[in-house]
Homo-oligomer: A and B are copies of this chain.
Amino acid sequence: MSRHVYAFDAALPARDPKELLGGKGAGLNAMTELGIPVPPGFTITTDVCLAWRARGDFPEGFATELKLALEGVELRAGRRFGDAADPLLVSVRSGARVSMPGMMDTILNLGLNAETVEGLAATSGDRRFAFDAYRRLVQMYGDVVLGVDHHRFEETLGALKKELGDPRVLDSKLPAEALEELVRRYLAILEGEGKPFPSDVQAQLHGAIGAVFASWDNTRAVRYRKMQGIPHEWGTACTVQAMVFGNLGETSGSGVAFTRNPSTGQRALYGEYLANAQGEDVVAGIKLERHFGDMQDIEFTVEQGRTYILQTRSGKRTAHAAVRIAVELVHEGVLTKEEALGRVDATSLEQLLHARLPTPDELLVRGIRAVATGLPASPGAAVGAIVFDADEAERLASEGRDVLLVRRETSPEDIHGMKAARGIVTATGGMTSHAAVVARGLGKCCVAGCAALNVDYAKQTLTVRTEIGEVRTFQKGDVLSLDGSYGKVYAGPLDVVAAAKVPELEELMRWADETRELRVRANADTPADARRARSFGAEGIGLCRTEHMFFVEERLEAMRCVALAGDEDVRAEWLGKIEPMLREDFAAMLEAMDGLPVTIRLLDWPLHEFLPREPNEHAKVARALGVPVSVVEQRARQMHEINPMLGHRAVRVGLTAPSIYRMMVRAILDAAIDRLEAGGDPRPEIMIPVVGIAGELSRMKQLTFEEAERVFEARGRRVEFKYGTMIELPRACLVAGELAKSAEFFSFGTNDLTQTVFGISRDDAGRFLPVYVDELQLLPVDPFVTIDEDGVGAMIRMACERGVAERADLSLGLCGEHGGDPQSILFAARTGLSYVSCSPPRLPVARLAAAQARTKLRAS
């Protein structure tokens, strides 16, 4: 039988101390070993919890071990548990392998009863203090161990205050007599419930330990573990520790301290209360940092001038501080570079690059609630006066006003207004709507698809039914605040925290780049994007969404004619007008990424998305095409789709209207040759989207190579390029072996693959997916944020295996939005992909996460 109880100064077996003693117990043991002043105590192992859960009772031999351990504490504290003259009081706390803040129970002040309370009063010289401790024990024990509703105690306290004539008096101002009376009444409540408070201190202790173990299985703890993916089988440890008191007069106190500034990372003790024991704490802090290899968040109590450290743990910190601390701890020799990389939450790095509002939780604490929630379409924050018209946005902005552009949805006619505005809000449209895509391209904050908004252009008002059922109307010029990272709209101006400048980030990124094996590319659709991406460390473009290149007025008009041309010859003519513009853009992108791969996805936009919406635009297109308006209208009607996601798009258009893809192939290769001729090193990769049938890819390959030969002949020189496909349909995964016969690379388009594997449209999931994740917990996370490994991941693994079996040197990448999610990046590394591609602001996230993934995989 293994040991059940470990004193803080006991030698531990060769096993992860946290696994055996929980985080808290392990920390106390370590601190004791380091000679840090810790009140004496011991920890009951997680195994005891598991035994207790299985049998409903403590294991054999436990009582004896507990008794011996308690005697050890008595010895070190110089007091005895239950001693009527000078009683030892103890706390009993839970502590699992990982922190589950507030989820389980704690009981303080055990060891008090009618006799010992008098002893405490005598030794402390403070009767009020002693009865205050006693009434707290009775209430806590009644609630936690005996299961009596805590409202009963609160009501009793309220009634007593009333009787004393001041219902609003503070607890700390109640005199000792009142507290004595309160204890009497509390004890009576428990008697009345048939659950008397045990005056036997040993019974108190056993009851409290059992209650702590039981709290592992309370509803909120179970739910929390499910959410966090913590196994129910771990169990909690239970720590029993001598009480020290920070409320024994002027020379006592309690507080928390951080060993560094949790906001900036600056190396200096930072705490809420430091009394007069500072020097000692600083020394302790350094010792603890060195031991745990991290900035510590320390709880301490000063009891009559003597400082005790009650708990130490890694401190929470801002992203800014996390980066600085990790880098400095390496410089101080505390951490290796690899360890430092593991200490920064990769996701948090994105915050550093954008202005932001306080988080919704932080605002809620301040009583500020969003008036509406939409999709977090483009990160960042913006505050400004609302306007409903792009021209007006431009005009007001030119006068120096901060404006937000509010539209039901945006279209290319709105782009000048979007550029002028600080942020954009739309009532409809998803993460890939015009507003979302353009805003991300412009680096503007955007909340899209905010369905609760009722935009009235005529009245120039915005009406919202808020989440709490209130109806609010905003006029043109009213100020709102947007949080594009959380998809929130707030009334009135909020403080915007500017993007941080963290000098240490560059060093951390350098280490990440040295460590990782997974390459990191960027999703970039314009030359400006490409340049920005390279400056953020992109090793190529993994996805250039060419459809986004048409979000410009003049191109859009020509593309409308392309869509509505009616036949290939007319279409080719209009494509001819676009070709030189595209060629120029491609050349600029290849220049920005000189020497690095640039994967260009041929058009993937349902033709009907190019269609004009307003009647006068039908007429414009009809004039341009030289056909009656009615013909244009009918063609447009015929192109309407019920499920555009599953419609006539991408390669399906490429094959049925081949002049479009032919033009794009020409523009890409001409651009590449332009770069060659300018002495550059262009590395274009042509990617065919939405392939599900092997023949689609082979037929399109034939067409691509035909067009390539034509270009090479016309230019009198050749340029190397790769041909591959985006894997974004389940069927593509199934026939990946066939696809690999034509493709030199696969790039997993995990957005669409998630949509088709789940049969869930991301744009339409708002009414059930959050309920699935948050409320019903049918999914651990949003599969559009983190790859669903059981479903989507299984398809990806299948596609990789089948593809590589056919073509050993097949290049494998991932270019969905998951490419910027650390958990998904770990999946990509584990699956053997060679790169991920993400949006430029996510590049630091991806680089760090890739390094962390490498370390994790090496360890496993």
Interface pair B731/A759, CB less than 8 Å apart: yes
Could you say which residues of chain B place their CB within 8 Å of the CB of A396? none
A772 to B699, CA, bound (A): 11
Interface string of A672-689 (1 = CB under 8 A from B): 000000000000000000
Interface pair B648/A646, CB less than 8 Å apart: no
Q: Which of B638, B779, B792 contacts A452 (CB 8 A)?
A: B638
Please report which residues of chain A, range 829-857, place their CB below 8 angstroms from some CB of chain B when the two chains form the complex: none
- Shortest A156–chain B CB gap in Å is 37
Q: Which of B642, B653, B655, B752 contacts A764 (CB 8 A)?
A: B642
- Shortest A84–chain B CB gap in Å is 54
Task: Determine whether A795 belongs to the interface, using a CB cutoff of 8 Å to chain B.
Answer: yes
A692-B656 contact, Cβ under 8 Å, with A638-B451, A731-B791: no
Interface pair A772/B693, CB less than 8 Å apart: yes
Please report which residues of chain A, range 451-475, place their CB below 8 angstroms from some CB of chain B when the two chains form the complex: 451-452, 454, 465
Task: Determine whether A149 belongs to the interface, using a CB cutoff of 8 Å to chain B.
Answer: no
Task: Determine whether A581 belongs to the interface, using a CB cutoff of 8 Å to chain B.
Answer: no
Interface pair A790/B645, CB less than 8 Å apart: no
Could you say which residues of chain B place their CB within 8 Å of the CB of A452? 638
Interface pair B776/A699, CB less than 8 Å apart: yes
Interface pair A647/B764, CB less than 8 Å apart: yes
Task: Determine whether A652 belongs to the interface, using a CB cutoff of 8 Å to chain B.
Answer: yes
Task: Determine whether A497 belongs to the interface, using a CB cutoff of 8 Å to chain B.
Answer: no
Task: Determine whether A794 belongs to the interface, using a CB cutoff of 8 Å to chain B.
Answer: yes
Please report which residues of chain A, range 753-809, place their CB below 8 angstroms from some CB of chain B when the two chains form the complex: 755-761, 763-765, 767-768, 771-772, 776-779, 788, 790-792, 794-795
Interface pair B776/A690, CB less than 8 Å apart: no
Could you say which residues of chain B place their CB within 8 Å of the CB of A790? 734-735
Could you say which residues of chain B place their CB within 8 Å of the CB of A648? 764-765, 767-768
Q: Which of B634, B763, B778 contacts A696 (CB 8 A)?
A: B778
A690-B655 contact, Cβ under 8 Å, with A430-B642, A454-B634: no
Please report which residues of chain A, range 463-496, place their CB below 8 angstroms from some CB of chain B when the two chains form the complex: 465
Could you say which residues of chain B place their CB within 8 Å of the CB of A729? 757-759
Task: Determine whether A641 belongs to the interface, using a CB cutoff of 8 Å to chain B.
Answer: yes
Task: Determine whether A728 belongs to the interface, using a CB cutoff of 8 Å to chain B.
Answer: yes
- Shortest A526–chain B CB gap in Å is 25
Interface pair A734/B795, CB less than 8 Å apart: yes
Task: Determine whether A167 belongs to the interface, using a CB cutoff of 8 Å to chain B.
Answer: no
Closest to A465 in B: B634
- Shortest A253–chain B CB gap in Å is 48
- Shortest A734–chain B CB gap in Å is 5
Interface pair A759/B644, CB less than 8 Å apart: no
A772 to B695, CA, bound (A): 9
A161 to B646, CA, bound (A): 60
Interface string of A731-743 (1 = CB under 8 A from B): 1001100000000
Task: Determine whether A398 belongs to the interface, using a CB cutoff of 8 Å to chain B.
Answer: no
Please report which residues of chain A, range 565-607, place their CB below 8 angstroms from some CB of chain B when the two chains form the complex: none
- Shortest A19–chain B CB gap in Å is 29
A91 to B483, CA, bound (A): 84
Question: Number of A interface residues, CB 8 Å?
Answer: 60
Interface pair B693/A778, CB less than 8 Å apart: yes
Task: Determine whether A643 belongs to the interface, using a CB cutoff of 8 Å to chain B.
Answer: yes
Could you say which residues of chain B place their CB within 8 Å of the CB of A777? 695
Could you say which residues of chain B place their CB within 8 Å of the CB of A451? 637-638
Task: Determine whether A730 belongs to the interface, using a CB cutoff of 8 Å to chain B.
Answer: yes
Interface pair B643/A778, CB less than 8 Å apart: no
Interface pair A730/B757, CB less than 8 Å apart: yes
A88 to B860, CA, bound (A): 85
Could you say which residues of chain B place their CB within 8 Å of the CB of A734? 757, 790-791, 794-795
Interface pair A771/B430, CB less than 8 Å apart: no
Closest to A638 in B: B451
Closest to A645 in B: B643
- Shortest A74–chain B CB gap in Å is 51
A168 to B478, CA, bound (A): 88
Interface string of A622-654 (1 = CB under 8 A from B): 000000000000100111111111111000110
A778-B641 contact, Cβ under 8 Å, with A759-B646, A794-B734: no
- Shortest A658–chain B CB gap in Å is 10
A791-B643 contact, Cβ under 8 Å, with A756-B759, A778-B699: no
- Shortest A602–chain B CB gap in Å is 15
A690-B645 contact, Cβ under 8 Å, with A634-B465, A730-B791, A734-B794: no
Could you say which residues of chain B place their CB within 8 Å of the CB of A645? 642-643, 645-646, 759, 761
A761 to B645, CA, bound (A): 8
- Shortest A579–chain B CB gap in Å is 24
Could you say which residues of chain B place their CB within 8 Å of the CB of A642? 430, 644-645, 761, 763-764
- Shortest A661–chain B CB gap in Å is 14
A643-B730 contact, Cβ under 8 Å, with A655-B771, A768-B648, A779-B695: no
- Shortest A642–chain B CB gap in Å is 5
Closest to A430 in B: B642
Closest to A408 in B: B637
- Shortest A756–chain B CB gap in Å is 5
A756-B730 contact, Cβ under 8 Å, with A430-B642, A646-B643: yes
Interface pair A759/B690, CB less than 8 Å apart: yes
A734 to B366, CA, bound (A): 45
A642 to B640, CA, bound (A): 12
A655-B692 contact, Cβ under 8 Å, with A646-B646, A646-B759: no
Q: Which of B465, B690, B730, B779 contacts A795 (CB 8 A)?
A: B730
Could you say which residues of chain B place their CB within 8 Å of the CB of A756? 730, 756-757, 759
Closest to A607 in B: B767
Could you say which residues of chain B place their CB within 8 Å of the CB of A454? 634, 637
A695 to B773, CA, bound (A): 11
A452 to B734, CA, bound (A): 36
A516 to B690, CA, bound (A): 40
- Shortest A473–chain B CB gap in Å is 12
A659 to B795, CA, bound (A): 35
Interface pair A759/B752, CB less than 8 Å apart: yes
- Shortest A668–chain B CB gap in Å is 23
Could you say which residues of chain B place their CB within 8 Å of the CB of A637? 451, 454
A763-B655 contact, Cβ under 8 Å, with A634-B454, A791-B692: no
- Shortest A426–chain B CB gap in Å is 13
Could you say which residues of chain B place their CB within 8 Å of the CB of A646? 643, 645-646, 755, 759-761, 764
Interface pair B638/A778, CB less than 8 Å apart: no
Could you say which residues of chain B place their CB within 8 Å of the CB of A692? 757-760, 791
Closest to A788 in B: B731
Closest to A641 in B: B764
Interface pair B634/A759, CB less than 8 Å apart: no
> What 10 A-B pairs have minimum CB-CB distances, sorted nearest first?
A646-B761, A695-B778, A643-B761, A647-B764, A731-B791, A730-B730, A729-B759, A643-B645, A652-B768, A451-B638
- Can you sample 19 A-B contacts with CB below 8 Å? A428-B640, A641-B764, A642-B645, A642-B764, A643-B644, A643-B763, A645-B759, A646-B761, A647-B764, A648-B767, A655-B778, A692-B757, A693-B758, A693-B772, A693-B779, A695-B776, A731-B788, A731-B792, A734-B794
A positions within 8 Å CB-CB of B: 428, 430, 451-452, 454, 465, 634, 637-648, 652-653, 655-656, 690, 692-693, 695-696, 699, 728-731, 734-735, 752, 755-761, 763-765, 767-768, 771-772, 776-779, 788, 790-792, 794-795
| New A-B pairs, 20, CB < 8 Å, besides A641-B761, A731-B758, A734-B790 | A428-B640, A430-B642, A642-B645, A643-B643, A643-B644, A643-B645, A646-B764, A647-B765, A648-B764, A656-B768, A692-B759, A693-B772, A695-B776, A730-B730, A731-B792, A734-B757, A734-B795, A752-B759, A756-B757, A756-B759
